[in-house]
Structure 1
């Protein structure tokens, strides 16, 4: 089941003061980014955040699940998704620990 656009918009709207939050459609679901750095996925109307040590410490009682079959487990955010301040803090903590995105390679022009 693909995620509902209203849910995606809700999640993006919940995250404040962590840069420009965007969601990009990927294979029928969504990648969630802060200033171009991917920190999570929205799959089947559920929010998954990439696992980090600091994020784990912040969440405390972590629930992990794979966002799709064959994926590595991520933090599944369910109950606290309504708490904008908490969710924004988690995203801020997470993006500080994640590596910067690799620069995109320029496509070669055919001569």
Structure 2
């Protein structure tokens, strides 16, 4: 289920120090973007921050929760998004710290995709 309007508005307010925050419904969830990079996802009004090897230590507390996942062919696929502890919603400074770490991971993912994306050669037009 996607983010409720009130939860989405709360997230926009809390994440405003990071930059331009937008949200988009995706596959029954809500993607949370900052300046075009997806730093988090929401399912059932639970926030999941993007995690990678570089920020995993910062999110150690979130390891107790199952990661964001989806069912596929009778199994479960875990995504690189970990649930934010609810206590963060009462601690705006720490919330932004976690969000910055997730945004940094989103930048690394985007940079990696750019490096491995195949380059396309334009075809000459025939006259």
Q: TM-score range by the shorter chain?
A: 0.7 to 0.9
| Structure with more of its chain in helix, by fraction | 2
Which runs of structure 1 show a deviation greater than 3 angstroms over 4 or more consecutive aligned residues? none
Instruction: Answer 1 or 2: higher relative contact order, Cα 8 Å, separation at least 6.
Output: 1
In the TM superposition, what is the alpha-carbon distance from 1:67 to its structure 2 partner? 2.7
The two structures have a TM-score, normalised by structure 1, of 0.74
Root mean square deviation of aligned Cα: 2.3
What is the match of residue 69 of structure 1? 70
What is the match of residue 119 of structure 2? none
Aligned runs of 1:12-27 on 2, under 5 Å?
12-27=12-27
What is the match of residue 96 of structure 1? 104
Which of 95, 103, 106 lines up with 1:87 in the alignment? Answer: 95
The structure with the largest alpha-carbon Rg is: 2
What is the match of residue 124 of structure 2? none
In the TM superposition, what is the alpha-carbon distance from 1:60 to its structure 2 partner? 3.1
Q: Which runs of 5+ in 1 are unaligned?
A: 104-111
CA contact (8 A) 2:40 2:102 kept: no
Q: Which runs of 5+ in 2 are unaligned?
A: 72-76, 115-127
CA contact (8 A) 2:62 2:85 kept: no
SS at match of 1:17: helix
Q: How has the CA–CA distance of structure 1 residues 2 and 60 changed in structure 2, closer, same or farther, with 3 Å as cutoff? A: closer
In the TM superposition, what is the alpha-carbon distance from 1:37 to its structure 2 partner? 0.4
